[in-house]
Structure 1
Amino acid sequence: MYLATTRVHKNSIVAFVVEDRVVSIRDCAAGQGSSIAESLPSTVLGVIEKGPDYWAELESFYDTLRDGEFPSDAQDKWWWTKESVTFEPPLIPRKNPWVVGANYYQHLANGFARIPRPAIAPPHVEYFSKAVNSIIGDNADIVFDKRSTRTVDFELELAVVIGKTGKDVSVADAYDWVFGYTIANDISARELQLGHQQYHRGKSLDGFCPLGPVIATPRETGDPNRLRMRQWLNGELKQDWPVGDMIYKIDKLIEVLSQGMTIEPGEVIICGTVPGVGFEQLPQDWLIHGDLLEAEISRIGMLTNRIKLAGAS
């Protein structure tokens, strides 16, 4: 199933996305007399926290919609076209999202080539975090202020949404902890990132974590290593790479993160970016006011955001 948080008539709703339609789960279930209408939490995070048995119930309900018809008299009552609603971030986690640095060798090699020095793959998983306040949704503007940064960059990344509480999860069991996958753009203020000699502030300015537009469950994505990532800047393809080329795969990322530390439902792991970002270019190419980013991961969707300079019209 594809889950989203959408805003319709000023109301935030937990929704299914079925091809080009957005369905209010609660309103649709109520109309069909389903018990889901009463048990549905008010947020996607709440859905995740209810656990696998409830997810299976929702998947089954999703199938009835995918295989059925959408009555025209229900349009704008319990279903809408995608173009007529606003996609908010699919969830707001309780903790800061985790982000993996240097997880695609070619991205690493391109960056080191500018110095120049040989690229060496990290001997262990490198985690940092982005502030939860940096999360925005699809079609939201990424607003930056020249007083804070002039070197804004993009990084398309697969985001893993954890489904269950766990600790010391093994590689063999790691995928059992995955609720689903979404798209993240790890927007980065490079001079803050490098000047502070740590990544958190340069990655955490307001709006610097576009997320969404949906969470796709593993049934929809299949093996995430077979997905492909593409990002366009003003219509020009900048990033195009297989997800599965990670140095440290998703199961290893979960194992490492959970070693000695409890992971919880709704936590987000952003898995690293692929070649093509502005930092790698000669000369370096930073985002400017009016730029349009279109970030796509196959079998999940496309996340679109526009860059805006604070104070500019």
Structure 2
Amino acid sequence: MATRLVRFVADGTTHWGTVNGDEVTALEGDYPTTGEVLEHGAEEWRAAVDRPPTHRLSAVTVVSPVTVPCRVVCQGANYRQHAIESGMDPDNRAFNLFFDKTDASVTGPYDPVTRPGHVRLLDYEIELGLVIGATIDGPVTITDDQLPRYVAAITIGNDLSARDVQLPQGQYFKGKSYRGFCPLGPELLVLDEADYPLLDDLTLELRVNDEVRQTDSTSTMLYRPAESLSELSTFCNLSPGDVVLTGTPHGTAAKSPHPLIRRLATALLPEHVMWRLFIRRNEDGPFLRPGDLVTASIRSGDGSLDLGKQRTPIIAADTPNGETR
């Protein structure tokens, strides 16, 4: 059975603990980082099920189960319908798309996220996060059978994206890395070996103000975890506690114009004019605004794996004169 770990603050001290309903049993060992609890805490978290709870979960502050510094690696257009929505042919993909977010973007599962004052097209992207459990410092071919060696746990991620920075500027790194743009958690679900086949049978769901915006199954991924980690190992070092976000389903607020329309617009308009029109056309779209509440959940079809529910309020940025926008 998978172990449900949370990282939480109680009485000014940060702890790791195992979760059972609304009760949490704090681990007694000192594990400053996610990598350390994954590498050295197994004996204690397995024994914690036989100890009485130490806290009520509702009475503590749950924080990100992925500590920083860490590497946050992302995949793009990795679900069939999202690839189509992005103007790609999922049956003729030439490559697996990777990019980074900075770890400055990492925040907790219930923390409010500030929409930067210059951002108007703030988008949501629910993602399954693979939390690395072993050092990868050279090329390695990973099979499904070997996945437990490299992926220790999973968690919920939200790859928040400033589309009016990312797209006109071609800045994935910047447009996806503002502070708070990577809510993670609430739980670090540490998998048993028998749980790994269920990575192909997880349902992701994201809601904005209780309206379903995204839902899909990991069974529609184009590049599965073992294949993606094998390719990553050819150019990227990963350490225990790093996280790989495996792409988002269809239903994001940003919609890509048909490739023919994009080519015509590029041919007929100066690039800065084309993107100004794109932003103006999308300002009234279903992008996130201050006051919105984003909820995200991931669970297996049989209910045996449940990563909890992430809740992210979107708030306005304060301007220098004290007003909000």
1:170 aligns with 2:171: no
Name 2:309's counterpart in structure 1: 302
Alignment of 1:109-258 (within 5 A): 109-112=84-87, 121-147=92-118, 149-166=119-136, 167-172=138-143, 173-219=146-192, 221-222=195-196, 223-258=198-233
Measured in 2, the distance between the counterparts of 1:279 and 1:43 equals 35
Measured in 2, the distance between the counterparts of 1:297 and 1:121 equals 28
Query: Would the aligned equivalents of 1:14 and 1:43 in 2 still touch at CA under 8 Å?
Result: no
Name 1:284's counterpart in structure 2: 285
Name 1:60's counterpart in structure 2: 46
Structure 1 residue 63 displacement after superposition: 3.7
1:16 aligns with 2:18: yes
Measured in 1, the distance between the counterparts of 2:140 and 2:164 equals 36
Measured in 1, the distance between the counterparts of 2:237 and 2:151 equals 14
Query: Would the aligned equivalents of 1:189 and 1:202 in 2 still touch at CA under 8 Å?
Result: yes
Structure 1 residue 105 displacement after superposition: 1.9
Structure 1 residue 139 displacement after superposition: 1.2
Name the amino acid aligned to 1:15: G
Structure 1 residue 175 displacement after superposition: 3.6
Distance 1:251 1:121, change over 3 A: same
TM-score by length of 1: 0.83
TM-score by length of 2: 0.80
Q: Secondary structure at the match of 1:272?
A: coil
Measured in 2, the distance between the counterparts of 1:272 and 1:121 equals 18
Q: State the number of aligned residues.
A: 281
Name the amino acid aligned to 2:46: S
Structure 1 residue 280 displacement after superposition: 3.1
Structure 1 residue 188 displacement after superposition: 0.3
Name 1:75's counterpart in structure 2: none
Note the alpha carbon deviations across 1:14-46, whole angstroms, 9 max, x for none. Answer: 2222222122111xxxxxxxxxx4xx4233332
Measured in 2, the distance between the counterparts of 1:9 and 1:157 equals 32
Note the alpha carbon deviations across 1:211-265, whole angstroms, 9 max, x for none. Answer: 0111101229542111110111101111111022110001111101111543211
Measured in 2, the distance between the counterparts of 1:233 and 1:3 equals 26
Measured in 1, the distance between the counterparts of 2:148 and 2:229 equals 8
Q: Secondary structure at the match of 2:165?
A: helix
Structure 1 residue 187 displacement after superposition: 0.3
Distance 1:225 1:46, change over 3 A: same
Measured in 1, the distance between the counterparts of 2:101 and 2:227 equals 20
Query: Would the aligned equivalents of 2:158 and 2:182 in 1 still touch at CA under 8 Å?
Result: yes
Structure 1 residue 266 displacement after superposition: 1.0
Q: Secondary structure at the match of 1:46?
A: helix
Q: Secondary structure at the match of 1:124?
A: coil
Query: Would the aligned equivalents of 1:229 and 1:296 in 2 still touch at CA under 8 Å?
Result: yes
Name the amino acid aligned to 2:32: S
Q: Secondary structure at the match of 1:60?
A: helix
Query: Would the aligned equivalents of 1:221 and 1:300 in 2 still touch at CA under 8 Å?
Result: no
Query: Would the aligned equivalents of 1:159 and 1:268 in 2 still touch at CA under 8 Å?
Result: yes
Name the amino acid aligned to 1:164: A
Measured in 1, the distance between the counterparts of 2:221 and 2:227 equals 10
Query: Structure 1: where are the runs of 5+ without partners?
Result: 27-36, 71-77
Measured in 2, the distance between the counterparts of 1:119 and 1:150 equals 29
CA RMSD in angstroms comes to 2.2
1:43 aligns with 2:33: yes
Measured in 1, the distance between the counterparts of 2:148 and 2:140 equals 10
Measured in 2, the distance between the counterparts of 1:42 and 1:130 equals 22
Measured in 1, the distance between the counterparts of 2:205 and 2:103 equals 25
Percent of matched pairs sharing the same residue: 27
